C-alpha cells in the first residue's frame, strides 16, 4: 500500500514552497477528486452525511486507504498552517490558538488510528505486517506532533519512540532510504529536544532513550516488530549490552591545539566514534593498486565527519535558541569542537585527493599505457598523442587545486587566524602543494620539447623549488608524530618535503642543461638556411630576440618595393553626408548666406501687406 511513501510524496510540496499555506488547499482538492473517483461524493442539493470507511471499502479498493490518509493529513496541514501564521504575528501563539491546533491534530490522530484498526483485519483488507506498521507509525507521528505542541514532553517521547523503533525495523528489512530520511528529520530532533526538556542528560544516546520509553506492554506491536526484525527489541541484558557498546564507541573527550574539551552531546560523541571506527578501513584499502578504490575508501570517514559537523552545529543552534551567550563555557566548548571537527573533515578530504594522486603525492608518475596499431599483417607500437599525455597531468592539477582551496577554507575557521603557529603550519603546507602543482605544470610544458616550452618548465621548477624550500624550513621543526604508513590526510611530514626538494634540485639541473642544449643547437647556423632571408626588423618588433642580439643590417627592405599596406577602409557612400571635406565647406556656407539675405529682404514687404489688410475699429467693422 506504500503508506509512508504516499505521505512523503505529498509533503514534498512543503519543502518546495517552504510553507503550509498552499499545502492544505492542495490536500483538499485531492480529497474532492478522490471522493468523485470512489463515488462517495455528496450529490448536488443533497445533505452531507459523514460516513466512515469500512473494511469492505478497503477490500474493494485500496484507494480508500489513501482517502483516510488524506483526511488525517488535512488536519495536520491545517494545524501547521495556523501555527505558521500566528508565529509571524506580534502576539504569537495564544491560548485559543493552541487549543485549536491541538483539536485539529487530535482529529488527525483519530483518522489515523481508525485506519490502523481497519488494516488489522488482514483477511479482508489483504494488508501485511509492514502496511500495519507503517500506518501505526504514521498515527504515532501525528500523536507525537500533538504532544509536542502541547508541551507534554513525556508523552511526546513515548510516541516518537514508537515511530523510531518501527522506522528502524522497516529500514533494516527493506533498506529503503525513505525511512532513514524520516528518522533524520523530524524523529531524531524531536526526541532529542523533548528529552532535553524532560531533563535527561545529553550524553544519553537516542537509542537508549527510545528503548526506555517504548510501550512494551503492546504485545501485538511487539510481535509484528519481532517478525520483521528480531533485533529491533531485545531483553534488558541485551539492551544494556548494546548501550555499553555504544558508550565504548562514543568519544568522551577531544583535544584541539593543547585544549581538552569534554563532549556533553551524545550525538557528537557517537559521530566521532563512527569516524574512529571507519579509519582502519582506509589503512586496509591503501594496499589496493587502483587509485579510484583508494579514494572510495574515504567515503565512510567523510560521511561520519560530516555527521559530526552537523551534530555540532545543531547543538550550537539549540543553545543559541535558548538565549545562551557566546561567552558561556558550554558555547565556547562547542565552538572549539566545531573548529576541530571541520578541520578533521577537511583533512580527510585532502587525504582522499592525495590518495588519488598516487605515491609521493603525484611525484611518481605512472608510465602511460602502450598503444598499438595494425600495420599490414603485424601490430606495431605507436606513440600516444599530446592530449593523451597531458590528460593525467591535468587531472592531477585539478586535485591540487582542490587541496589548495580546502587549505584556504581552514584559514577562515573560528579561532584559526588568532593561532599564529597554526597559520604558519598551514602556510607551509600550502607552499608544499603549490610546489607540487608547479612541478606538474612543468611536466606538462615539457611534453612538446622546444626552446619556449623548456624555458617555461625551467621557470616553473625554479618556482617550485622556492616554495618547497620555504615549506621544508617550517615543517622540519614540526612536532608531528604521524608516520608515512598512516592514511594520507592534511599532515605533511618533513621527509616528504625533503624528498620533493631533492627531486626538484635534480630536475632544475637537468632542465638547465636541456635549455642550454636547445639554445646552442638553435644558434648554430644550418647550411640549408644560408640563402633564406629573414623578415626585416620593422616587421618583427613584437618578437623578442632569443639571443638578445638585434640584426641592425636588416631593419627595412632596401631598395623599397611595392607591398601591401594595411589601411582602414573609408566608406564614402555613407560618410559623405556627415563629413565636411575641404572645398565643400565654402560652397555650403555661401549658399546658406544667400538664403538668409533673401529671407531678410522679403520680410518687410510681407509686414506691409499684413498692415494694409488690417481693418480699423472693433471686431473688424470700420468707423
pLDDT tens for residues 304-362? 899 899 889 988 988 888 888 888 888 999 999 999 999 999 999 999 999 888 888 88
Domain boundary among 465, 490, 523: 523
Using alpha carbons, select from 354, 356, 401 the residue that is nearest to residue 496.
354
In 146-287, beta strands by DSSP E: 253-256, 259-262
Is pLDDT of 192 > 70?
yes
Is there a single domain that holds both residue 417 and residue 337? Answer: no
Give me the mean pLDDT over the 377-401 stretch: 81
- pLDDT-derived band at 240 (thresholds 50, 70, 90) equals very low
Sole residue written with cell 445533505:
47
Is there a single domain that holds both residue 423 and residue 490? Answer: yes
pLDDT, position 266: 80
Residue 469 domain flag: yes
Give me the mean pLDDT over the 252-281 stretch: 85
Count how many domains the chain has: 2
Is there a single domain that holds both residue 322 and residue 264? Answer: yes
Rounded Cα gap, residues 156 and 150, in angstroms: 9
In tens, the pLDDT along 566-612 reads: 787 766 555 556 666 666 555 556 666 666 776 665 555 555 555 55
Q: Are 335 and 261 in contact (CB under 8 A)?
A: no
pLDDT, position 68: 95
Residue 347 domain flag: yes
pLDDT, position 238: 38
Residue 605 domain flag: no
Rounded Cα gap, residues 124 and 42, in angstroms: 27
The proportion of the chain whose per-residue pLDDT surpasses 90, expressed as a percent, equals: 35
Rounded Cα gap, residues 146 and 78, in angstroms: 13
Q: State the cell numbers at 314.
A: 545543531
pLDDT, position 458: 93
Give me the mean pLDDT over the 466-493 stretch: 80
Rounded Cα gap, residues 58 and 55, in angstroms: 5
Residue 23 domain flag: no
The proportion of the chain whose per-residue pLDDT surpasses 70, expressed as a percent, equals: 79
Average pLDDT over the chain reads 82
In tens, the pLDDT along 63-93 reads: 999 999 999 999 999 999 999 888 876 677 7
Is pLDDT of 277 > 60?
yes
Residue 539 domain flag: no
Give me the mean pLDDT over the 194-222 stretch: 85
Rounded Cα gap, residues 167 and 188, in angstroms: 11
- pLDDT-derived band at 237 (thresholds 50, 70, 90) equals very low
Give me the mean pLDDT over the 376-404 stretch: 82
pLDDT, position 465: 95
Domain boundary among 498, 523, 548: 523
In tens, the pLDDT along 102-157 reads: 999 999 999 999 999 999 988 898 899 899 999 999 999 999 999 999 999 999 99
Is there a single domain that holds both residue 320 and residue 403? Answer: no
Give me the mean pLDDT over the 201-230 stretch: 84
Helix (H, G, I), strand (E, B) or coil at 39: coil
The residues, ordered by sequence, that sit 6+ positions from 497 with a Cβ below 8 Å of its Cβ are 432, 468, 471, 472, 475, 476
Is there a single domain that holds both residue 402 and residue 353? Answer: no
pTM of the model: 0.57
Q: What is the DSSP string of 509-534?
A: HHHHHHHHHHHHHHHSPPGGGTTPPP
- By mean pLDDT, which of 54-58, 64-68, 110-114, 266-270 is the weakest? 266-270
Residue 26 domain flag: no
Q: Are 462 and 447 in contact (CB under 8 A)?
A: no
Is there a single domain that holds both residue 403 and residue 479? Answer: yes
The residues, ordered by sequence, that sit 6+ positions from 62 with a Cβ below 8 Å of its Cβ are 1
- pLDDT-derived band at 34 (thresholds 50, 70, 90) equals very high
Residue 224's φ and ψ, nearest 5 degrees, are -65, -40
pLDDT, position 248: 44
Is there a single domain that holds both residue 283 and residue 350? Answer: yes
Residue 540 domain flag: no
Domain boundary among 334, 357, 380: 357
pLDDT, position 599: 66
Is there a single domain that holds both residue 343 and residue 414? Answer: no
Is there a single domain that holds both residue 409 and residue 511? Answer: yes
Is pLDDT of 251 > 50?
yes
Alpha-carbon distances of 82 from 78, 90, 153, 573, rounded to whole Å: 6, 14, 21, 75
Is there a single domain that holds both residue 411 and residue 342? Answer: no
pLDDT, position 296: 76
Burial of 410 (0-12, 13-18, 19+ CB in 10 A): buried
- By mean pLDDT, which of 316-325, 364-373, 526-535, 588-597 is the weakest? 526-535
pLDDT, position 617: 56
pLDDT, position 618: 58
- pLDDT-derived band at 239 (thresholds 50, 70, 90) equals very low
Is there a single domain that holds both residue 405 and residue 518? Answer: yes
pLDDT, position 241: 38
pLDDT, position 620: 56
pLDDT, position 527: 46
Is there a single domain that holds both residue 511 and residue 438? Answer: yes
Residue 238 domain flag: no
State which residues form the domain around 450. 398-523
pLDDT, position 246: 45
Q: Are 82 and 101 in contact (CB under 8 A)?
A: yes
In tens, the pLDDT along 540-560 reads: 888 877 667 788 888 988 888
- pLDDT-derived band at 450 (thresholds 50, 70, 90) equals confident
Amino acid at each position: 500500500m506504500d503508506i509512508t511513501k504516499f505521505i512523503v510524496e505529498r509533503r514534498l510540496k512543503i519543502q518546495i514552497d517552504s510553507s503550509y499555506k498552499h499545502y492544505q488547499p492542495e490536500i483538499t482538492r485531492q480529497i474532492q477528486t478522490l471522493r468523485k473517483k470512489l463515488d462517495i461524493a455528496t450529490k448536488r442539493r443533497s445533505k452531507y452525511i459523514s460516513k466512515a470507511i469500512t473494511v469492505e471499502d478497503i477490500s474493494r479498493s485500496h484507494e480508500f486507504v489513501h482517502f483516510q490518509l488524506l483526511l488525517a493529513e488535512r488536519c495536520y496541514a491545517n494545524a501547521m498552517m495556523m501555527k505558521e501564521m500566528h508565529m509571524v504575528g506580534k502576539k504569537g501563539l495564544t491560548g485559543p490558538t493552541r487549543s485549536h491546533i491541538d483539536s485539529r491534530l487530535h482529529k488527525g490522530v483519530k483518522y489515523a488510528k481508525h485506519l490502523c484498526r481497519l488494516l488489522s483485519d488482514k483477511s479482508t483488507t489483504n494488508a501485511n505486517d509492514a502496511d500495519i506498521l507503517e500506518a501505526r507509525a504514521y498515527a504515532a507521528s501525528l500523536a507525537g506532533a500533538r504532544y509536542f505542541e502541547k508541551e507534554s514532553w513525556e508523552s511526546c517521547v513515548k510516541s516518537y519512540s514508537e515511530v523510531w523503533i518501527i522506522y528502524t525495523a522497516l529500514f533494516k528489512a527493506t533498506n529503503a532510504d525513505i525511512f532513514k530520511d524520516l528518522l533524520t528529520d523530524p524523529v531524531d530532533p524531536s526526541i532529542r529536544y523533548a528529552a532535553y526538556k524532560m531533563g535527561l542528560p545529553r550524553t544519553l544516546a537516542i537509542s537508549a532513550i527510545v528503548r526506555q520509553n517504548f510501550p512494551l506492554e503492546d504485545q501485538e506491536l511487539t510481535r509484528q516488530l519481532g517478525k520483521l526484525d528480531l533485533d529491533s527489541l531485545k531483553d534488558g541484558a541485551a539492551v544494556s549490552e548494546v548501550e555499553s557498546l555504544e558508550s565504548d564507541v562514543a568519544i568522551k573527550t577531544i583535544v584541539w591545539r593543547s585544549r581538552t574539551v569534554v563532549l556533553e552531546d551524545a550525538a557528537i560523541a557517537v559521530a566521532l566514534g563512527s569516524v574512529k571506527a571507519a579509519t582502519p578501513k582506509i589503512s586496509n584499502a591503501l594496499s589496493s593498486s587502483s587509485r579510484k578504490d583508494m579514494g572510495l575508501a574515504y567515503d565512510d570517514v567523510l560521511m561520519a565527519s560530516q555527521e559530526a559537523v552537523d551534530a555540532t552545529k545543531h547543538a550550537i543552534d539549540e543553545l543559541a535558541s535558548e538565549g545562551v551567550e557566546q561567552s558561556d563555557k558550554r558555547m565556547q566548548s562547542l565552538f572549539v569542537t566545531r573548529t576541530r571537527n571541520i578541520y578533521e573533515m577537511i583533512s580527510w578530504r585532502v587525504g582522499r585527493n592525495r590518495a588519488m594522486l598516487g605515491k609521493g603525492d603525484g611525484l611518481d608518475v605512472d608510465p602511460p599505457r602502450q598503444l598499438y596499431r595494425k600495420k599490414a599483417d603485424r601490430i606495431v607500437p605507436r606513440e600516444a598523442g599530446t592530449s593523451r599525455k597531458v590528460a593525467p597531468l591535468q587531472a592531477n592539477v585539478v586535485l591540487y587545486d582542490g587541496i589548495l582551496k580546502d587549505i584556504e577554507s581552514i584559514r577562515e575557521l573560528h579561532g584559526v587566524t588568532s593561532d599564529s603557529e597554526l597559520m604558519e603550519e598551514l602556510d607551509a603546507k600550502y607552499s608544499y602543494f603549490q610546489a607540487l602543482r608547479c612541478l606538474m605544470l612543468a611536466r606538462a610544458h615539457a611534453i612538446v620539447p622546444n626552446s619556449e616550452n623548456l624555458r617555461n618548465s625551467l621557470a616553473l621548477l625554479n618556482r617550485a623549488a622556492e616554495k618547497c624550500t620555504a615549506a621544508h624550513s617550517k615543517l622540519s621543526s614540526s612536532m608531528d608524530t604521524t608516520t608515512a604508513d598512516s592514511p594520507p590526510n592534511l599532515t605533511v611530514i618533513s621527509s616528504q618535503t625533503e624528498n620533493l626538494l631533492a627531486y626538484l634540485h635534480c630536475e632544475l639541473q637537468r632542465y638547465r642543461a636541456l635549455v642550454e642544449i636547445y639554445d646552442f643547437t638553435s644558434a648554430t647556423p644550418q647550411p640549408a638556411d644560408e640563402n633564406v632571408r629573414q623578415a626585416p626588423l620593422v616587421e618583427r618588433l613584437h618578437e623578442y630576440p632569443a639571443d638578445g642580439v638585434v640584426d641592425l643590417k636588416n631593419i627595412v627592405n632596401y631598395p623599397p618595393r611595392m607591398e601591401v599596406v594595411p589601411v582602414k577602409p573609408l566608406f564614402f557612400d555613407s560618410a559623405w553626408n556627415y563629413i565636411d571635406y575641404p572645398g565643400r565647406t565654402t560652397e555650403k556656407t555661401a549658399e546658406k548666406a544667400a538664403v538668409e539675405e533673401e529671407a531678410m529682404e522679403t520680410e518687410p514687404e510681407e509686414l506691409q501687406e499684413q498692415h494694409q489688410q488690417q481693418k480699423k475699429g472693433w471686431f473688424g467693422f470700420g468707423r
